[in-house]
């Protein structure tokens, strides 16, 4: 039997519904809370290594909420549960968003429902992958 999945280490079984990883620290109250655009820009800086498109335009981010405290909750999926970066990508997402000025603690929670499909991709992603 394999040990429980550790998303921060990227070992064990693939992440399960609801598995979460955290990054960051409480926001400095002297810094204004980041806006959606700044967080989306950070999300667009993370790429699936097998697909030359960022995770935001691939449609892997299902929900993003910024609290008045600056804490950010992200619900994301992957293209498949057995994705080679299943262990490292959620942590990379949390770390990138936590580095945005005005962001406090970041929680990235995995979901597999609904399963990701190519229909989730933005027009930008479809053009980049020549899917028209």
Tell me whether residue 83 is in a domain: yes
- Minimum mean pLDDT range among 9-13, 48-52, 55-59, 126-130: 9-13
User: Where does 76-122 have alpha helices with state H?
Assistant: 89-98
Is residue 3 predicted with pLDDT exceeding 50?
A: no
Is residue 66 predicted with pLDDT exceeding 90?
A: yes
Q: How confident is the model at residue 132 (pLDDT cuts 50, 70, 90)?
A: low
Is residue 11 predicted with pLDDT exceeding 70?
A: no
What range defines the domain where residue 72 resides?
20-121
Q: How confident is the model at residue 9 (pLDDT cuts 50, 70, 90)?
A: very low
- Could you tell me what percent of the chain has a pLDDT over 90? 73
pLDDT tens by residue, 70-121: 999 999 999 988 888 888 899 999 999 999 999 999 999 999 999 999 999 9
Tell me whether residue 128 is in a domain: no
pLDDT at 13: 66
Whole-angstrom distance, CA of residue 76 vs CA of residue 60 = 5
pLDDT at 50: 82
Check: CB of residue 48 under 8 Å from CB of residue 85. yes
Number of domains making up the chain: 1
CATH number at residue 41: 3.30.300.130
Tell me whether residue 10 is in a domain: no
Whole-angstrom distance, CA of residue 26 vs CA of residue 128 = 37
Tell me whether residue 89 is in a domain: yes
């Amino acid at each position: 039997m394999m040990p429980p999945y550790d998303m921060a280490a990227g070992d064990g079984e693939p992440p399960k519904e609801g598995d979460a990883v955290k990054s960051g620290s409480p926001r400095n109250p002297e810094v204004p809370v980041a806006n959606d655009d700044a967080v989306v820009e950070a999300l667009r800086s993370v790429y699936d290594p097998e697909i030359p498109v960022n995770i935001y335009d691939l449609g892997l981010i299902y929900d993003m909420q910024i609290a008045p405290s600056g804490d950010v909750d992200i619900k994301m999926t992957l293209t498949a549960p057995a994705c080679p970066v299943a262990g490292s990508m959620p942590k990379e997402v949390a770390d990138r968003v936590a580095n945005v000025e005005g962001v406090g603690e970041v929680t990235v929670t995995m979901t597999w429902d609904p399963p990701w499909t190519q229909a989730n991709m933005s027009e930008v992603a479809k053009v980049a992958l020549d899917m028209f």
